[in-house]
Amino acid sequence: MTEEMRHPFLEGLSRHRGAPPTIIVIFGASGDLTRRKLVPSFYNLDSDNLLPTDCLLIGCGRKPLSDKQFRQFAREAVVEHSRRSPSEDGWNRLEGKIFYHTGGYDDPDTYQGLKSKIEQLERQNSTHYHILFYISTPPAVFKPILENLGSSGLSRTIGPHGNYAKVIVEKPFGHDLASARELNRIITKEFEEKQVYRIDHYLGKETVQDLLVQRFANSIFEPVWNRRFVDCVQITVAEDLGVGSRAGYYDQSGALRDMIQNHTMQLLALTAMEPPVSLDAEAIRDEKVKVLKAIQPLTLNAEGSDAVRGQFTEGIVDGRKVTSYMQAPGVPNSSFTETYAALRLFINNWRWQGVPFYLRSGKRMARKMSEISVHFKRPPGVLFTEADKFDVAANTMVLRIQPDEGVMLLLNSKIPGLETRTQPVKMHFRYATTFGSNTPEAYERLLLDAMTGDATLFIRGDETETSWKIMTPILEYWNECGKRGLETYFAGSWGPLAAERLLWDYGHQWRRAGP
């Protein structure tokens, strides 16, 4: 058996082999996500023998393509983006399982045609398929797709053969509280909640799933995971890239909607939630909602807001000169969209009252790096107090989400020698060293979970609404202010100075993460 086959994560995944016969229908089939993530995930799952034997993929989109052309598109996607190097055998096995259906998203005929195609495949293969719809289109067409799935009967609930339809909805899930509520209303009119999978790809990352394991499979952390021992918690989701060709989307969105409302808030919820009663999807999601509900409304005013936003100017990233956000193709001159956002949040519950949670995310920052750091209180200043001899740091636990995935504990240690001197040292667990580096992509895990009906790593309707409830006043306030209060930061830096001040108010500073 090769090293890759023995990979413990894959062993973990193999329990999913019971996924029922499924047809995955991707709306937005010629889009970027399909090319970069979905088709390569389909390929990798198949190569790992994790797909059910009867698993087909139908791409659906406005672009008129034949099955042959879409297969070519898929093949290129695999060659360019697959985690595994593509093999001729692997591709030959998969090719015949891929189809395409052309149609406008608001045209009822598209769905009738799709239905006939599915029925034809069912007859041809004598199989009753579960249908997994994946909505990966611009949000403007979510509504017609969902409504047409309902009116065409494709949103079928459990049928005589036990097969039924499920739907994965990509982000952005609404752009504020009202639109998220409206989207939930439309979805739950056409589907039952148990058929719905709202995706946040951060939950599919190994290290994010490991957060629950670190917290609840080790008994040493729980006793100190609270306001008595924790001084502050910091969550950073930094990217070195700019907006590329996505300015059309991004300028309407900004960092708060694009990253904080979903990915960063999910990291916060998993870090701060109470232990769930089981690992069931509902038990975990109940706890996440509870902790999100306990977040206090933010203070928002010109004097001392809990929220800071910034936009990058030109600078140097990775030794290369890069232009400002305003110069990115497609950004309007009047734009005051934030490419960076930082928040200071307080969770008003028994465990966390008074402990600041600092969140930040931005484009064109010094480098790509996501981590959660839990900063513990300093020991009483009684023994190791002479500054010239004793360098005593606050203990910190760092959960590195990406890259260099792992867990680090910062401790204080004696420097060897005849004199007693101290220095902070790091204890490091690295995934790549222990488990190898070829771990499954987030989308592989999430596709498989949706096929098997496991919603644990997906967002429930009330969860997304609770998060939007926290974000919406910030968005409204920033909108009122326009450019006033929009900070700038050099591309390649760690964000605007004002974001440092968020922490200084409480005697903290952002962790300076090593490479």
Q: Shortest Cβ distance from residue 258 to ligand BG6 (Å)? A: 5
Closest CA to 82 of 122, 33, 37, 149: 37
Question: Applying CB under 6 A, what is the total number of residues that bind ligand BG6?
Answer: 3
Catalytic residues, by residue number, are 263
Rounded Cα distance between 190 and 236, Å, is: 37
Nearer to ligand BG6, 27 or 202 (CB): 202
Q: Shortest Cβ distance from residue 95 to ligand BG6 (Å)? A: 28
- Tell me, residue by residue from 396 to 435, as one string, x for binding to ligand BG6 by CB under 6 A and - for no binding: ----------------------------------------
Nearer to ligand BG6, 12 or 244 (CB): 244
Q: Shortest Cβ distance from residue 341 to ligand BG6 (Å)? A: 12
Nearer to ligand BG6, 101 or 205 (CB): 205
Closest CA to 257 of 140, 367, 338: 338
Rounded Cα distance between 332 and 104, Å, is: 29
Nearer to ligand BG6, 239 or 251 (CB): 239
Count CB atoms within 10 A of the CB of residue 252.
Answer: 14
Q: Is residue 507 within 8 Å of 344, Cβ to Cβ?
A: no
Near ligand BG6 in 88-127, by CB under 6 A: none
> CA neighbours within 13 Å on the CB side: how many for 210?
18
Nearer to ligand BG6, 166 or 171 (CB): 171
Q: What is the dihedral of CA 27, 31, 35, 39, to 10 degrees?
A: 0
DSSP 207-266: HHHHHHHHHHS-TTTGGGSSTTTEEEEEEEEE-S---TT-HHHHHHHHHIIIIIIIIIHH
3-state secondary structure string across 337-400: CCCEEEEEEEECCCCCCCCEEEEEEECCECCCEEEEEEEECCCCCCCCCCCCCECCCCCEEEEE
DSSP 149-185: HHHTTTT--S-TTS--EEEEEPSP--SSHHHHHHHHH
- Pair of tokens at residue 460: 């429930």
Near ligand BG6 in 154-193, by CB under 6 A: 171
For residue 403, is the peptide bond before it cis, meaning its omega torsion is within 30 degrees of 0?
yes
Nearer to ligand BG6, 52 or 492 (CB): 492
Nearer to ligand BG6, 138 or 153 (CB): 138
Closest CA to 202 of 487, 446, 497: 446
Q: Shortest Cβ distance from residue 445 to ligand BG6 (Å)? A: 13
**With the C-alpha atoms ordered 314, 317, 322, 324, is the resulting torsion angle positive or negative?**
negative
Near ligand BG6 in 228-267, by CB under 6 A: 239, 258
Helix, strand, or coil (residue 134): strand
Q: Shortest Cβ distance from residue 239 to ligand BG6 (Å)? A: 5
Q: Shortest Cβ distance from residue 171 to ligand BG6 (Å)? A: 6
Q: Is residue 453 within 8 Å of 195, Cβ to Cβ?
A: no
Q: Shortest Cβ distance from residue 412 to ligand BG6 (Å)? A: 32
Residue 441 as a binder of ligand BG6 (CB under 6 A): the answer is: no
Nearer to ligand BG6, 54 or 239 (CB): 239
- DSSP state letter for 437: S
Pairing of strands 406-414, 422-430: antiparallel
Closest CA to 409 of 459, 364, 375, 453: 375
Give kind and range of the element (H or E) at residue 498: helix 497-504
Q: Shortest Cβ distance from residue 237 to ligand BG6 (Å)? A: 7
Nearer to ligand BG6, 39 or 294 (CB): 39
Q: Shortest Cβ distance from residue 240 to ligand BG6 (Å)? A: 10
Q: CA of 372: how far to CAs of 9, 171, 269, 407, in Å?
A: 22, 23, 12, 10
* Binding residues for ligand BG6 (CB under 6 A): 171, 239, 258
